């Protein structure tokens, strides 16, 4: 297999908007590469305008979407107007960026990822994006930064040390201030915790040490067991009792017997009805 093609027919759909392109076709691409040693070409059959149908390489389509939407300040501002949901949409775009990186490693360059960090962490467009996330959806910002950190940690993005430090600091500060989101990527991820620890502690800064301490304290809140209720107050309500297997079997047998009896009664009733109808029909003649 040398080429994979995927239809693109919906103007409302974008490469980084959902996971299905990299999840389905990307998985197929990775499987082919694993078996043959060669990555197949992945093309979008762009029929959004049937009169100008064409083929678009997946890498080209993904990078275009990155520039047109993900790091475009006009698009970001429109998402900011959507409030909480807008923050989730921004975070989901980066989830899908990482998905493409895993399935097809050359989809995004280090420069593309640097552009993302410049936009969402360093706020190069001066739109107060960090403040907006803090106020509107801080956990979406954590998901953004976690995706960046994991992309670096796993070697898909060769970020410079300064950028890595800034992202790790932004993430730790958000957790210290708002508590940890604990999503599928950050929840229980000991390797991520160590990566953040190593990144911040390497600077030997009292300020970063303080951030790291608060980060660990807030993270621990999710794993601490809540103290039990020592009250002796009696709780009223239904009490569940465990039925043994024999009781359950007896109940099933009774139910089956009842069903059989009902069927027998219906058969007898129908037979009597037929006899009565036949009798009256014959009598009329």
Task: Give residue-wise pLDDT tens across range 240-267.
Answer: 777 666 666 666 777 777 777 888 888 8
CA distance 152 to 121: 15
Report d(CA 67, CA 90) in Å as an integer. 13
Report the pLDDT value the prediction gives residue 159, as an integer from 0 to 100: 96
Tens digits of residue pLDDT in 148-183? 999 999 999 999 999 999 999 999 999 999 988 878
39-42's contacts with Cβ under 8 Å and 24+ in sequence apart are: 39/104, 40/1, 40/2, 40/3, 40/4, 41/2, 41/3, 41/4, 42/3, 42/4, 42/5, 42/6, 42/104
Please tell me the distance from the alpha carbon of residue 211 to that of residue 215, in angstroms, as a whole number: 6
Q: Which residue has the higher pLDDT, 48 or 113?
A: 113
- Tell me which H or E stretch contains 45: strand 41-46
- pTM here? 0.74
User: What integer is the mean pLDDT of 118-137?
Assistant: 97
Q: How far apart are CA 9 and CA 130, in angstroms?
A: 35
Buried b vs exposed e over 178-206: b needs ≥16 C-beta within 10 Å? Answer: bebbbbebbeebeebeebbeebbeeeeee
Q: Within a 13 Å sphere around the CA of 222, how many CA atoms are in the beta-carbon half? A: 16
Percent of the chain with pLDDT over 90: 54
pLDDT band at 31 (very low <50, low <70, confident <90, very high): very high
pLDDT digits (tens, 9 = 90+) for 87-104: 999 999 999 999 999 999
pLDDT tens sequence across 128-142? 999 999 999 999 999
Using 50, 70 and 90 to split pLDDT, how confident is the model at 30? very high
Q: For residue 39, what are the contacts with CB-CB under 8 A and spacing of at least 6?
A: 29, 32, 33, 104
Averaged pLDDT, 11-38: 88
């Amino acid at each position: 297999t040398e080429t994979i093609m995927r239809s693109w027919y919906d103007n409302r759909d974008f490469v980084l908007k959902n996971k299905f392109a990299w999840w389905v076709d990307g998985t197929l691409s990775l499987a082919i590469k694993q078996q043959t040693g060669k990555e197949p070409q992945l093309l979008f059959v762009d029929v959004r305008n049937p009169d100008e149908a064409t083929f678009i390489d997946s890498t080209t389509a993904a990078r275009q979407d990155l520039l047109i939407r993900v790091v475009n300040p006009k698009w970001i501002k429109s998402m900011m107007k959507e409030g909480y949901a807008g923050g989730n949409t921004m975070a989901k775009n980066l989830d899908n960026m990482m998905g493409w990186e895993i399935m097809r490693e050359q989809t995004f360059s280090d420069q593309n990822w640097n552009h993302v960090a410049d936009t969402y962490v360093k706020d190069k467009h001066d739109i107060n994006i960090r403040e907006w996330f803090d106020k509107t959806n801080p956990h979406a910002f954590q998901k953004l930064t976690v995706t960046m950190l994991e992309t670096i940690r796993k070697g898909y993005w060769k970020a410079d040390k300064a950028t890595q430090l800034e992202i790790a600091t932004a993430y730790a500060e958000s957790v210290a201030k708002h508590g940890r989101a604990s999503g599928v990527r950050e929840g229980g991820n000991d390797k991520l915790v160590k990566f953040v620890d190593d990144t911040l502690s390497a600077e030997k800064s009292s300020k970063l040490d303080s951030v790291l301490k608060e980060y660990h304290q807030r993270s621990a809140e999710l794993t601490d067991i809540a103290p039990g209720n020592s009250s002796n107050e009696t709780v009223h309500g239904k009490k569940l009792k465990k039925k043994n297997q024999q009781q359950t079997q007896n109940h099933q047998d009774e139910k089956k017997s009842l069903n059989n009896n009902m069927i027998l009664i219906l058969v007898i009733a129908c037979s009597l009805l037929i006899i009565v109808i036949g009798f009256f029909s014959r009598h009329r003649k």
